[in-house]
Amino acid sequence: MSELLSHLVRTRGAGPDQGPSPAAALHVEVIADLVCPFCYIGKRRFDQAMQAVQGPSDISWYPYQLNPDMPEEGMSLHDYLSMRFGSPANVEPVLQQLAADACQEDIDFRFDRIEHVPNTLRAHQLMYLAETQRKDQSALAEELMTAFFRRGEDIGNLEILVELGGRHGLLPEDIDRVTVDESVRQIVLSREAQVRSSGIAGVPGFLLNRRLLVIGAQDTDALVNAFDRAMFGEGNDAIISPALH
């Protein structure tokens, strides 16, 4: 494994047992942000690929903020898009292409409902809580992405996080606690720093059995092939795609 990816593995941090995966097992560490449209599309393709896996598998999630300097209160979508793309003429083709790509994965991006782009640190803290309580992080991620992209909900808002987390067995008092706990905040930020220092500069990313890294919203067939290589193949680590989103 490369030195940078080895650093990511060595400093995994607190959480469920992360021991080596047995032969013919698949362990995936998903690196994503919850307001990243490519991550939502990539997750859907990843879910489809996982259905083809024969044998034991487990999935954990790593935090990544597309906008680490986002104000704590977030900002309006209009201001965010203007900052990223400039004039509306530059934005519209991007949104149209995203909507078309998402439709292929049965995702209905409703950009007309999104008024606010949140700081996602609280949402990542909620994902960490789900990990520590051994809840289904992937199901929670789907809930958070759906809330933002389909309903335009502010997933940086504590009340909304309490509602969404409650649907996955997380108690309001635990969500309140974890979103203001400085030690949890530092754990999440430390994990994100590990990702960035490991050379990963865009998401989604899928680290397979700690030996293969798939970068980008790859199609389902490419992911299945990568799963096979991670579980059964030989050779050194590889980055499946140089493309970063």
Rg, C-alpha atoms of the chain: 18
- Which domains occur in the chain, in start order? 3-239 (3.40.30.10)
The one-letter code for the residue type at 5 is L
Say what the pTM is: 0.85
Please, what's the b/e burial string for 142-179 (b: 16 or more CB within 10 A of its CB; e: otherwise)?
Answer: bbbbbbbbbeebbbbbeebbbebbeebebeeeebeebb
* Distance in angstroms (rounded) separating the CA atoms of residues 208 and 230: 6
What pLDDT, on a 0 to 100 scale, did the predictor assign at position 234? 57
What pLDDT, on a 0 to 100 scale, did the predictor assign at position 232? 86
The residue to which tokens 């934005």 are assigned: 91
Please, what's the b/e burial string for 201-228 (b: 16 or more CB within 10 A of its CB; e: otherwise)?
Answer: ebbbbbbbbbbbbbbbbbebeebbebbe
Contact 209, 9 (CB under 8 A): no
Mean pLDDT by runs of 10 across the 245 residues of the chain is 44 42 78 97 96 89 95 94 84 91 95 96 98 97 98 98 98 97 97 93 94 94 94 60 35
